[in-house]
Amino acid sequence: MWGDMKQPVNFRLNQRSMAVLESLVQSLGISKTQVVEEALDHYVQQVEAHQHPLPAFSGILNEKEAESVLQAIADRHNKDADLTL
């Protein structure tokens, strides 16, 4: 999606993170760049999976209320789907 053109990046890692990076490079047999790219891809997937689908209600509904609204929508969707069968 973003292309294969690589750009140099400089950042600092603490000793633990550096050890984890080196360990992954060795155990997976891939480059540090690939480890970081794959870790970022995984992190984005995790963040997107946990983003709340009702941002318009941010600050209006608490989490329990928002989940209740989502469940009501899902129930309604399932009920409508059952009626079309």
H helix and E strand count, the chain? 3, 0
pLDDT, tens digit (0-9, with 9 covering 90-100), for 16-66 = 999 999 999 999 999 999 999 999 999 888 887 677 665 556 667 778 887
| CA distances from residue 63 to 37, 44, 49, 70, 75 in whole angstroms, order as listed | 32, 22, 15, 10, 18
- Six token digits for residue 25: 């490079």
| DSSP structure string for 16-33 | HHHHHHHHHHHHHT--HH
Task: Say what the pLDDT of residue 65 is.
Answer: 83
pTM of the model: 0.56
Q: Say how far apart CA 85 and CA 78 lie, in whole Å.
A: 11
> In the chain, what are the domains?
1-51 (1.10.1220.10), 54-85 (no CATH)
Task: Decide which of 79 and 80 is more confident.
Answer: 79
